[in-house]
Structures are given as structure tokens and as C-alpha cells.
Chain A
Amino acid sequence: MGSYVARRMLQLVPLLFGISIVVFAVIQAAPGGPEGSLLNTGRFIDPQVIEAYRQRLGVDQPVHIQYVRWLSSAIRGDLGISFSSTRPVADMIWERLPATLELMASAFLFAAVVAIALGIYSALRQYGPLDLIGTGVSFLGIAMPVFWFGLILQLVFSVKLGWLPVSGTATVGATSLGDHLKHLVLPGFVLSFRYIAGWSRYLRSSLLGVVRTDYVRTARAKGLPESRVIRVHAVRNALIPVVSAMALNVADLFSGAVITETVFAWPGIGRLFVQAMFARDYPLLMGILLLGSLMVIVFNLVADIVYGLLDPRIRYD
């Protein structure tokens, strides 16, 4: 198992390089170049920031030197200075990251729990009422625009019914956990919906396939109670591809967070990203893109590890 993990981690290195090159290239491709945009945003930027940026990038240097300098700073945690706030990008990200992680983690866990329960139930009571509703909801969830869903729920639950707050992480002045949790409900649910839909459907079809396998038949032939057959033999095997898919969905969970944070004014790096976009704040954009990609890769590794833990055949790959 250890060598499997080590091998997977080694494969990440070229991937990280590739990502850094693409992110760097994308920013370099900005009309007017990255520091040219500094001057074109039409906002006042402290000349010291411009100078520091110039020096850091070594703008007069050839592109590959610039890349190396940028990359070596980034590895050391120095992601540059934001144009719009003149503060280090790393600090700004660090401040907002917990809010995003909280949102993503809550949505992920909620979706996982509900999807697994729904998926198992739907598969075992195929064509039963809950299964049909579940299938309908699944299709709806996948087709539902996240931003619209957020708006509608805001309309219903915050504006019309007043049960939940419209936006933000806390009511002004309130510090209780309860108040904070009330703020988390809507954005968390909105973000999770798509994944409840997708994962439950995937688990359902995986489980339906597993239940028909020879080894489940063998388990029944041993006279094991049906609950044990399902729990130990069927669900565990059926979960393997689903868990993998869950971890791989973190990439779009991040994209979803960008939209959800904007709709609910949730102070995370997703919202920061959109604000940075309007401000043409390229160092900040680069930093967040890099971080987002890093998150994706880390979770891909986690997916591989979990897969290896669950399915012994993979470890000798």
C-alpha cells in the first residue's frame, strides 16, 4: 500500500509542473501582459506595488526566466502582491480560505450522507415510490443551474418565509454557532444538491449491478442474513467506484463554490476570485487558480488512496 501511494505521489510532480505552466501562460496571455493590465485597469495603483511587481516578475527577462522566478516564489509561499489591495496574495487567500473550505466540506459531507442513503434505498426498492422520486430529483439536480437554485431558495426561505438569512456568514454582532449554522444552511444545501443527485444515481446503478454478481449469490448460498449480504458484500463493493467519483468531483465542487459564494455573499476565495476578476487583479487570480488546482490534485490523490484501501486488487497496479 505504501509503495502504491508513493508511486501516485510521484506521478503528481509532472502534473503540478503542467498546471503551473498553464496557469502562468494564461496570465501571461492577458491583453497587455500581466503588468500591462496593472496600468490598464483604470484604477489607481500605488507605484511601489507596480515596481515591486515588475521586479518580482523580472518583466524585462525572457519568459522562461520569469516563469522560474514566479514558480520558485510560489513554492515558498510567496504568491505576489494583489493589485487591488496591495496586500500579499497569500495573506488574502489565507484569510478567506477557511470560509470556502467550510462551505465545500459541509456540502460534500451532507451530499455524501444523503446520496449514500438514497442510493442504497433506491437500489433495494427498485421502482418503489422513493426510487422514482429519487430518480426524478436526480435528473432535476443535475440540470439545475446552481445560481438559479440559490436565488429561488433565497426567495422562498429568506425573503418570503424569513426562516433563514439571505447571505453572509453571520448576522451583524452575533457570534453564536447557531447563528452561523443558520447562515450555512442555504449555501451548503444549494452547493450539495447537484452531488446528491449525481452520486445517488451512480451508487444506485452500481449497487444494482453488484447485487446480481456471482459473489453475492455465494454469500446468499452460505445462508447469511440478507442484511449482512447487502452490508458486507454488496454495498462495500458498490461504493468503490462511487467514492472515487466523489473525490474526483472536488474540482467542480470548487467551481460550484465560486457561484454559490457569489449568490450568498459568502466571504470565501470563490467570491474573492470573482471580485479579483472585475478588478483585473492578476496576481490574486493566479494565486487562487493555483490553489484551486492544488486542492483538486490533493483530492485526486485522496481518491486514489481511498480506492486502494477499498479495493485490494488496485494496489499492485
Chain B
Amino acid sequence: MTESAPVRELSPAELSWRQFRKHRVAMVSVTVFVVIALACLAAPLLAPYGPDAIDMANLRQAPSVRHWMGTDDLGRDVLSRLLFGGRVSILIGVLAAILGTGLGTLVGAVAGFYGRWADNVLMRVTDVAYAIPTLPLLIVLSAYSNAAALSMILIIGLLSWMTTARVVRAQVLSIKETEYVLAARSIGVSHAGIIARHVVPNAMGPIIVGATLAVGNAIMVESSLSFLGLGIQPPTATWGNMLMDSQATMASRPWLTVFPGLAILLVVLAINFIGDGLHDALDPTVRSA
């Protein structure tokens, strides 16, 4: 019978990467997202015009050679505003997601690990946070702050920890009872050490997927708030407030409505596909032999 030749064992990271590469849509999405994000971050260098630069001769222009996505009522170039606006939206999205995921991981890990009293309290708090509809609460909170980017990051992040907390808690509970954790405790490793070295690495999969999807969610929320006129205020451009401004002239100048929304859609779609790919790559049950 055949004897199999010894094969070098692949590390979990390499296995995950291979599995991710198989998900073609996710791979394409990574490219799309990176291109858009870099373009927006490099807005000062790439944008043909400044975000507030007024071109008096070309007010309310449809897309043309000079202005690829047209101009708005004040003669500002839509493409440039889109790029600068993207900077704000994407930055807020990423930072808010990091904040929310970090907080959620902490809460979930503590609740799962310490159990009983801490678990009960933290889970009740999570239940309350879940019960109050998020957008209305954010609407109220946004009015308290000066609606600058930092406040947006804080309030969005502070209301996105719940999902991660629940997921991490479930992971911690299942890992807590495994043999190697019991072994570690028996030789006296500290709680923090166990959490850091055993629990978190194993819970990393769902955390990463959660964080990715949280970015998309945060971008969506920020856009919704600016659309309602409650987030970042004009004249600073964000994709959401560009849509707010476009409403009045939607019929006659559809390009003002189409492009910002399309940007949000593309970015969030790409992020969701990446999240899906990561989920397949990091979920041990999906991995092919």
C-alpha cells in the first residue's frame, strides 16, 4: 500500500490564509477595499480639487471630463469630496470598530472567565444595551457632543461592544473547561496569563470576524447620523451628509445622490465579503482536510 511521504505541518495562520485565498470574492473585496481606503487616505494627494474648492464657472455640472463625478450646488467637485469624505467615514469606522471590539472582548472575557457574579452583572448590562434601540440612542448622544470625529468614534464604539462581548463570552466558557486550561491553572498560571495566552488566541477567530463586520456597521451608522444632519456637520464632507444635501435636487441632479451612496455600498459590501471569507478561513469546522 502507499506510504505517504512526511509533509511539513502548516501553522494555523498559514492554513487560514490558504483557506481565505480560496474565497475568490473575499480576495477581490480585499483589493477593492484597500484601493478605496488608500485612495481616500491619500485624498490630499490624489483629489483633483480641494473638498471646499469652488469652481464658479461650473456649478451644478453633470459628470464631465473636468469633473468626473460632476459638481454640486456650490461648484465643489463631487469626486474630491467623495475622497475626503471617505477619509472621515473610513477612519471613524475603523477606529470605532476597534474601540467597540476591544471593549466587547474585555467584557466578554471577564464575564466568561470570572463567572457567577461578574458574569451576571455584565450580561444584564449587555441585555439592557441590546434592548434600547441603538440609532435613537446614538441620535441623542450625538447632540451632546460637538459632533466632531472623535465624539463620533467614541459614541459609535461605545454602543457596538455587545455582539463581540456575547461571542467572546461563549468562546471563553467553552475554552475554560478544556484540559489545557485546567492544566495551566494547576501549575499556577495567573488568571491574566491564562486569558492572554490560552483564551484570547482561541477566541481570535470570531473576534476578528466581528471586528471586520463592526467596521462596516460603524461606517453605516456614521453615514446614517450624518444623513440625518446629526453627525459630522457640513461643510466637512462625509458620504452621509453629501446625501443629505443631495435630497433637494435629487430629480434634476441624480449624480449627487448616486455617487456617495454607491461609495458606502461598495465599501460596506467589500467589508462584508472579507468578513465572510475570514469566517470561512478561521472557522475550524469549515476548513477542508
Measuring CB to CB, which residues of chain A are less than 8 angstroms from any residue of chain B?
14-15, 18-19, 22-23, 26-27, 29-31, 139-140, 142-149, 151-152, 154-155, 159-160, 251-252, 254-255, 258-259, 262, 273-274, 277-278, 280, 285, 288-289, 292-293, 296-297, 300
Contact = CB atoms under 8 A, between A and B. Distances in A.
Interface residues of B, number: 43
Nearest to A285: B140
Given A26-B141, A274-B228, A296 B269 contact: no
A277 B139 contact: yes
6 contacts: A18-B127, A143-B268, A146-B224, A152-B261, A259-B227, A277-B230
A213 B271 CA distance: 32
B135 A259 contact: yes
Given A23-B132, A148-B243, A155-B251, A274 B139 contact: yes
A195 to B, nearest CB: 15
A297 B137 contact: no
Interface in B216-247: 216, 220, 223-224, 227-230, 240, 243, 246-247
Contacts of A148: 243, 257, 260-261, 264-265
Contact of B223 (A145, A154, A155, A277): A145
B132 A155 contact: no
A142 to B, nearest CB: 6
A151 B136 contact: no
A255 B131 contact: no
A255 B140 contact: no
Given A18-B124, A146-B224, A147-B243, A254 B133 contact: yes
Nearest to B142: A277
A148 B124 CA distance: 35
Given A27-B140, A143-B216, 12 more contacts: A15-B131, A18-B131, A143-B265, A145-B265, A148-B265, A258-B136, A277-B143, A289-B136, A289-B137, A292-B136, A293-B132, A300-B131
Interface of B: 124-125, 127-128, 130-137, 139-141, 143-144, 216, 220, 223-224, 227-230, 240, 243, 246-247, 250-251, 254, 257-258, 260-261, 264-265, 268-269, 271-273
Contacts of B131: 15, 18-19, 251, 293, 296-297, 300
A252 B257 CA distance: 24
A273 B139 contact: yes
B257 A26 contact: no
Contacts of B127: 15, 18
B126 to A, nearest CB: 10
A34 to B, nearest CB: 11
Contact of A151 (B124, B128, B261): B261
Nearest to A251: B133
Nearest to A297: B131
A18 B261 contact: no
B265 A251 contact: no
Contacts of B269: 139-140, 143
Which of A22, A143, A262 has the most B CB atoms < 10 Å from its CB? A143
B220 A145 contact: yes
B38 to A, nearest CB: 20
Contacts of B140: 26-27, 277, 285, 289
Contacts of A151: 243, 246-247, 250, 257, 261
Nearest to B266: A143
Nearest to B223: A145
Nearest to B216: A143
A66 B162 CA distance: 29
Contacts of A22: 128, 132
